[in-house]
C-alpha cells in the first residue's frame, strides 16, 4: 500500500497483490509506466468496479428498435427517421469542480463535446445540471467558499461554451446545504449525424496508423481519474494538479477538422482523450478492434520538456483526439490538420495480438496484455435491503399570512428566476435553437419546460431536452424519488409537445463503502429500469460518480436524468407562457397533495411524510392525449407542476406574458390551502385553452382528471379559496421579487 500511495495509484491492498502476482507470473518486475497504467485502468472512474455489476443487471436490456448504439462507445446513438440520428452523452466533473471550480467546469464542457465529436457527430447543444451549496450551511474547514465556487463554476461553463461556438441550451440548477464543499457539475451534449457517418471508438484492423491530434500533452490532469475515484479531502492542493486546463480556441478548429476528415471517409475509428488520457484511449480502441498496439511516446507532442514516459501516457491534457487511420489516408488527413493549423503526430499503430507495447526512444517501457489491463476488479458492494422509505406524515404549521408566505416561496433560490445564470450563456449560436431555456415577451421571459433544437436545415424534426434530479424527493426515498425525477423529465418534454424518446443518466452518489449509499444507488437504478420498461424508453448512455462525500457526510442520492424528446414538426411546439387574455386555465391530473418531497417542506426543514408514488398509467394517458391533440389549436400553453407547486407554476406562466390570472382552488381537493399551493406530488399539468374551445378540450381530455380553475385576465395574480382571497398582487411586483432571488448567491 505504501507503493500505491507514493505513486498515486489509488489501488487497495487486494488489487496491489493481484498486480504483484501477475508480474511474478511474468517473471519480472513492473516498470513505473506499467504501474501507472494499471492505476488508471483499475480506477473507479475507468472500470466502474463498484457499479458495473448493478448497471449490467438493471440496464442491459433497456434497448429499443431505434437504438443504434447504447452503452458501447463514447456516446449513445439513436435513430429518428431514415438516416437521421442524434448522438448524446452526459458526464459529471464533480471532484475537479470542487477544488478548481472554473477549470473543472470548463473542462467538463470540453470533455463532453469530444465524446460527441468522436462519434463523427456535429455537437449542436450543451446541457448543464448543477447542484451547489446555498451559502447557508456550514462549509467544512479547508473547502472553498460557496460564493466563490458557484460563481466560478458558472463562469467556467459560460466561457468555454460561448467561445467554442456551441450553445448551452438546457439544464437545471439546485441549491442546498448538502452540497457545501461538494458541488456536482453534470454536463451533457447532443449532436446530429447521418447514420452512414458514425465513427466507432475502435481500430478497424491490425494495421491502422494511430494519430494524436489537437492540444499538446502536458502535466495537467495527471492522476485525474485516481482523484475522481476517492473522497474529497480538505486543503487538497495536490489534487488541483489533477484538474485539466481547457482551451476552447483549439476546440473549434478541432471540431471542424475532425468532421471534415470523417465526412471524407478518412477516419477508421477515433476516441477522445478524457479520463486516463492515452492510457485509456489507446488501450480501449485496440482491444475493441481485436488488436494490440505499439505506441512511441517520444513522438507525442508535449507542452514542456523532460516529461517522463508514464506522465505522457496518463496525462489528461485537453483538446486531444486519437484517430485510427488507414495508411493510404495519412497524407490526406495530415493536409486537413495542417489547413486548420492543428498540432498532430503519428504515434504508433495497431498490430496483431492483444498486447500494448510502449516505447520511449529505443526503450520498451511497457508490455502488458490488454485483457489483463482492462480486467479491472468488479465488486458486489453490500447494501441495506430496503426499497421504500415509509415515514409518518408531518403536518406543517399553517402560516399566519399566506400572502407573505407565498412571497417567501418566490424568493427561495430553487423557486426564483435563474436568469442571472442562464443569461450568461449563448443559447442561439449556430441557429438551431427553436425554443430557448426561457420564453415569452422580450424582457419578460419565463423558464421553458424543455429547450428544443432543430436537427438540421432540411428536416422538420426537432429534439427537446430536459435535465435534472428531484433531490428533495430522492433524499427521502431513493426509489420513488428517482421515479419523480423520471416523471418530471417526461412531463417537461410533453409540455413542449414532444414525445419522450431516450434516457441518459449521470448518477451521483456518496461513498460506495457505505451500505446505505449502495442501497440508494441500487434503488435508483431499479426505478430507472422500471420507468423505462413501462414506457419502452432506452437508456443509451450514462455515467457514475461516486465518493461524493466529506468524511461521513454523503451527498443525497442525485441521479441526474437527461431525457430527449422528438417532434416531427418543431413549428408545433408549446411553451408555458400565457398567450391570450380571456383564455381558460385547467388543472389536469390526480394528486394526494402531500408536501413530502416539496421545496416548501425543504424550506421549512421538515420531512413531510412518505412520497406519493408515480402513477405511470396516468402519465401514459397524458402522453397519448397530448400527442393526439397537439396540432388541434385548442391548447395555447402547457406547464407541469413541479418545484414550488401550483403557485409557482401559475406565476411562471404569467411571468412570461403581460397577463395576470384569477384562479379558484376551492374544488381542487379537500385539503389545506398550504397543500393545494405547494404540493409537488402527482402528474399534474396546467393547460391554457383558447376561448370558445373549452367544451372541445374537456371532451378530448375526459380520460384524465380535469378541473377548470380559472381565467387569464388583468395584470394581477388573484387566488381564491372558498370565496376568500388568498393572494392579490400585481404580476409585475411578484416578477421583480422572482428575478432578484439569486442575487445574493450568484450576483
pLDDT value at 690 more than 90: yes
Query: Whole-angstrom Cα distance, residue 5 to residue 546?
Result: 20
Q: What contacts 676, CB < 8 A, 6 or more positions away? A: 593, 646, 665, 668, 669, 721
What mean pLDDT comes out for the span 25-37? Answer: 92
In the structure grid, which three cell numbers stand for residue 194, read together?
447521418
What mean pLDDT comes out for the span 669-675? Answer: 92
What mean pLDDT comes out for the span 438-450? Answer: 93
Position 395 scores a pLDDT of 67
Position 394 scores a pLDDT of 64
Q: Count helices and strands (H / E) in the chain.
A: 25, 30
Position 237 scores a pLDDT of 52
Higher-pLDDT residue of 237, 121: 121
What mean pLDDT comes out for the span 619-647? Answer: 97
pLDDT value at 10 more than 80: yes
In contact, 319 and 250? CB cutoff 8 Å: yes
Position 475 scores a pLDDT of 96
Q: Which of 229-243, 312-326, 475-489, 662-676 has the lowest mean pLDDT?
A: 229-243
Query: Whole-angstrom Cα distance, residue 274 to residue 264?
Result: 25
Position 243 scores a pLDDT of 64
Query: Whole-angstrom Cα distance, residue 164 to residue 291?
Result: 35
CA angle 571, 574, 580 (to 5 degrees): 110
Position 199 scores a pLDDT of 95
Q: What are the CA-CA distances from residue 43 to residues 228, 371, 574, 672 (Å)?
A: 9, 16, 45, 52
CB-neighbour burial class of residue 451 (10 A; exposed 0-12, middle 13-18, buried 19+)? buried
What mean pLDDT comes out for the span 684-713? Answer: 97
From the list 93, 152, 223, 296, the catalytic residue is 93
pLDDT value at 574 more than 60: yes
Q: What contacts 606, CB < 8 A, 6 or more positions away? A: 394, 396
Query: Whole-angstrom Cα distance, residue 503 to residue 495?
Result: 17
pLDDT value at 79 more than 60: yes
pLDDT value at 234 more than 60: no
Position 56 scores a pLDDT of 92
Query: Whole-angstrom Cα distance, residue 419 to residue 411?
Result: 14
In the structure grid, which three cell numbers stand for residue 154, read together?
458558472
Query: Whole-angstrom Cα distance, residue 131 to residue 5?
Result: 31
pLDDT value at 276 more than 90: no
In the structure grid, which three cell numbers stand for residue 544, read together?
457514475
Please state the three-class secondary structure of 667-695 as a single string. Answer: CCCCCCHHHHHHCCCCCCEEEEECCCCHH
Mean of all residue pLDDT scores within the chain: 93
CA dihedral 418→424→429→432, nearest 10 degrees, is: -10
Mark whether 549 is an active-site residue. Answer: no
Write down the H helix ranges in 136-247.
146-164, 224-227
In contact, 336 and 258? CB cutoff 8 Å: no
Q: Report the candidate in 372, 204, 355 with the shortest Cα–Cα distance to residue 294.
A: 355
Instruction: Please state the φ and ψ torsions of residue 182, each to the nearest 5 degrees.
Output: -130, 65
Position 364 scores a pLDDT of 97
pLDDT value at 48 more than 90: no
pLDDT value at 81 more than 80: yes
pLDDT value at 608 more than 80: no
- The CATH topology of domain 199-375 is Phosphoribosyl-aminoimidazole Synthetase; Chain A, domain 2 (3.90.650)
Query: Whole-angstrom Cα distance, residue 551 to residue 564?
Result: 36
DSSP string, 1-23: -HHHHHHT----HHHHHHHHHHH
Highest mean pLDDT of the ranges 3-7, 222-226, 254-258: 254-258
Query: Whole-angstrom Cα distance, residue 30 to residue 11?
Result: 15
Position 1 scores a pLDDT of 60
Q: Which of 3-17, 23-37, 518-532 has the lowest mean pLDDT?
A: 3-17
pLDDT value at 624 more than 90: yes
pLDDT value at 241 more than 60: no
What mean pLDDT comes out for the span 488-499? Answer: 98
Q: What is the pLDDT of residues 522-558, one digit of tens each?
A: 999 999 999 999 999 999 999 999 999 999 999 999 9
Query: Whole-angstrom Cα distance, residue 201 to residue 72?
Result: 9
**Banded model confidence at residue 226, pLDDT cuts 50, 70, 90:** low
Four-residue CA torsion sign, 73, 75, 79, 85: negative
Q: For 197, which DSSP code?
A: G
Q: What is the pLDDT of residues 315-373, one digit of tens each?
A: 989 899 999 999 999 999 999 999 999 999 999 999 999 999 999 998 999 999 999 88
Position 588 scores a pLDDT of 98
In contact, 622 and 589? CB cutoff 8 Å: yes
Mark whether 45 is an active-site residue. Answer: yes
Write down the H helix ranges in 188-293.
224-227, 248-263, 277-288
pLDDT value at 240 more than 80: no
Query: Whole-angstrom Cα distance, residue 616 to residue 666?
Result: 27
Q: Report the candidate in 310, 314, 232, 228 with the shortest Cα–Cα distance to residue 10.
A: 228
User: In 10 A of CB 189, how many CB atoms?
Assistant: 30
The domain limits of the chain are 199-375
pLDDT value at 20 more than 80: yes
Beta strands in 440-538 (DSSP E): 446-447, 451-454, 462-468, 499-508
Instruction: Tell me the CA end-to-end span of the chain in Å, nearest whole number.
Output: 46
Query: Whole-angstrom Cα distance, residue 242 to residue 305?
Result: 19
From the list 45, 95, 152, 639, the catalytic residue is 45
Q: Look at strands 499-508 and 539-545 and give their pairing.
A: parallel
Position 49 scores a pLDDT of 87
In the structure grid, which three cell numbers stand for residue 415, read together?
423557486
Position 137 scores a pLDDT of 82
Instruction: Give the count of alpha carbons within 13 A of 252, CB side only.
Output: 11
Q: Is residue 254 classed as helix, strand or coil in its secondary structure?
A: helix
Position 139 scores a pLDDT of 83
**Banded model confidence at residue 244, pLDDT cuts 50, 70, 90:** low
pLDDT value at 665 more than 60: yes
Position 231 scores a pLDDT of 62
Q: What is the pLDDT of residues 388-440, one digit of tens each?
A: 666 656 667 888 899 999 999 999 999 999 999 999 999 999 889 999 999 99
Query: Whole-angstrom Cα distance, residue 400 to residue 693?
Result: 40
Share of the chain above pLDDT 70, in %: 95
pLDDT value at 41 more than 90: no
Amino acid at each position: 500500500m505504501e507503493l500505491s500511495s507514493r505513486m498515486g495509484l489509488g489501488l487497495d491492498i487486494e488489487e496491489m497483490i493481484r498486480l504483484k502476482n501477475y508480474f511474478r507470473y511474468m517473471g519480472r518486475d513492473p516498470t513505473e509506466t506499467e504501474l501507472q497504467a494499471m492505476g488508471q485502468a483499475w480506477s473507479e472512474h475507468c472500470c466502474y468496479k463498484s457499479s458495473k455489476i448493478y448497471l449490467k443487471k438493471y440496464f442491459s436490456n433497456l434497448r429499443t428498435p431505434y437504438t443504434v448504439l447504447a452503452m458501447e462507445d463514447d456516446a449513445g446513438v439513436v435513430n429518428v427517421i431514415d438516416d437521421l440520428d442524434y448522438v448524446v452523452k452526459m458526464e459529471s466533473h464533480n471532484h475537479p469542480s470542487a477544488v478548481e471550480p472554473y477549470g473543472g467546469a470548463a473542462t467538463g464542457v470540453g470533455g463532453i463535446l469530444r465524446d460527441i465529436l468522436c462519434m463523427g457527430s456535429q455537437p449542436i447543444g450543451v446541457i448543464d445540471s448543477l447542484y451547489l451549496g446555498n451559502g447557508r450551511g456550514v462549509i467544512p474547514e479547508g473547502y472553498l467558499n460557496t460564493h466563490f465556487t458557484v460563481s466560478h463554476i458558472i463562469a467556467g461553463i459560460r466561457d468555454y461554451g460561448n467561445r467554442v461556438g456551441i450553445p448551452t441550451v438546457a439544464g437545471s440548477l439546485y441549491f442546498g446545504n448538502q452540497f457545501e464543499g461538494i458541488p456536482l457539475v453534470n454536463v451533457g451534449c447532443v449532436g446530429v449525424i447521418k447514420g452512414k457517418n458514425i465513427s466507432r471508438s475502435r481500430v478497424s484492423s491490425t494495421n491502422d496508423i494511430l494519430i494524436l491530434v489537437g492540444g499538446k500533452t502536458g502535466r495537467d490532469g495527471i492522476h485525474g481519474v485516481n482523484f475522481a475515484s476517492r473522497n474529497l479531502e480538505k486543503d487538497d492542493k495536490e489534487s488541483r494538479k489533477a484538474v485539466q486546463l481547457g482551451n476552447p480556441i483549439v476546440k473549434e478548429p478541432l471540431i471542424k477538422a475532425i468532421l471534415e476528415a470523417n465526412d471524407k471517409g478518412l477516419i477508421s475509428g477515433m476516441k477522445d482523450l478524457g479520463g486516463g488520457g492515452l492510457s485509456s484511449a489507446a488501450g480501449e480502441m485496440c482491444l475493441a478492434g481485436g488488436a494490440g498496439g505499439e505506441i512511441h511516446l517520444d513522438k507525442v507532442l508535449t507542452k514542456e520538456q523532460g516529461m517522463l514516459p508514464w506522465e505522457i501516457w496518463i496525462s489528461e491534457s485537453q483538446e486531444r483526439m486519437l484517430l485510427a487511420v488507414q495508411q493510404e489516408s495519412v497524407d490526406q488527413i495530415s493536409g486537413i490538420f495542417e489547413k486548420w493549423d492543428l498540432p498532430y503526430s503519428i504515434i504508433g499503430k495497431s498490430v496483431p495480438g492483444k498486447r500494448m507495447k510502449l516505447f520511449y526512444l529505443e526503450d520498451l517501457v511497457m508490455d502488458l496484455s490488454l485483457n489483463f489491463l482492462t480486467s479491472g476488479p468488479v465488486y458486489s458492494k453490500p447494501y441495506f435491503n430496503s426499497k421504500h422509505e415509509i415515514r409518518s406524515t408531518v403536518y406543517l404549521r399553517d402560516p399566519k399570512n399566506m400572502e407573505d408566505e407565498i412571497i417567501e416561496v418566490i424568493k427561495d433560490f430553487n423557486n426564483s428566476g435563474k436568469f442571472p445564470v442562464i443569461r450568461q450563456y449563448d443559447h442561439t449560436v449556430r441557429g438551431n435553437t427553436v425554443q430557448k431555456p426561457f420564453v415569452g415577451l422580450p424582457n419578460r421571459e419565463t423558464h421553458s419546460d424543455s429547450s428544443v433544437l432543430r436537427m438540421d436545415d432540411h428536416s422538420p424534426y426537432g429534439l427537446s431536452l430536459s435535465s435534472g434530479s428531484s433531490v428533495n424527493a430522492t433524499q427521502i426515498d431513493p426509489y420513488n424519488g428517482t421515479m419523480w425525477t423520471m416523471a418530471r423529465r417526461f412531463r417537461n418534454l410533453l409540455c413542449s409537445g414532444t414525445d419522450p424518446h431516450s434516457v441518459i443518466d449521470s448518477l451521483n452518489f456518496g461513498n460506495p463503502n457505505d451500505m446505505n449509499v449502495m442501497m440508494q444507488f441500487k434503488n435508483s437504478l431499479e426505478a430507472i429500469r422500471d420507468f423505462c420498461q413501462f414506457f419502452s424508453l432506452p437508456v443509451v448512455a450514462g455515467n457514475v460518480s461516486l465518493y461524493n462525500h466529506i468524511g461521513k457526510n454523503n451527498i443525497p442520492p442525485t441521479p441526474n436524468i437527461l431525457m430527449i424528446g422528438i417532434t416531427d414538426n418543431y413549428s408545433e411546439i408549446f411553451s408555458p407562457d400565457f398567450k391570450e387574455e380571456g383564455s381558460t386555465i385547467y388543472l389536469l391530473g390526480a394528486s394526494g397533495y402531500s408536501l413530502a418531497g416539496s421545496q416548501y417542506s425543504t424550506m421549512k426543514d421538515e420531512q413531510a411524510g412518505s412520497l406519493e408514488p408515480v402513477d405511470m398509467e396516468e402519465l401514459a394517458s397524458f402522453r397519448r392525449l397530448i400527442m393526439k391533440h397537439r396540432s388541434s389549436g385548442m391548447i395555447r400553453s402547457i406547464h407541469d407542476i413541479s418545484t414550488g407547486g401550483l403557485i409557482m407554476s401559475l406565476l411562471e406562466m404569467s411571468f412570461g406574458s403581460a397577463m395576470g390570472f384569477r384562479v379558484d382552488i376551492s374544488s381542487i381537493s379537500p385539503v389545506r390551502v398550504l397543500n393545494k399551493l405547494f404540493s409537488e406530488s402527482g402528474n399534474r399539468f396546467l393547460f391554457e385553452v383558447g376561448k370558445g374551445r373549452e367544451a372541445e378540450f374537456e371532451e378530448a381530455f375526459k380520460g384524465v382528471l380535469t378541473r377548470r380553475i380559472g381565467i387569464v385576465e388583468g395584470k394581477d395574480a388573484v387566488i381564491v379559496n372558498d370565496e376568500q382571497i388568498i393572494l392579490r398582487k400585481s404580476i409585475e411586483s411578484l416578477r421583480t421579487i422572482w428575478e432578484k432571488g439569486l442575487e445574493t448567491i450568484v450576483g
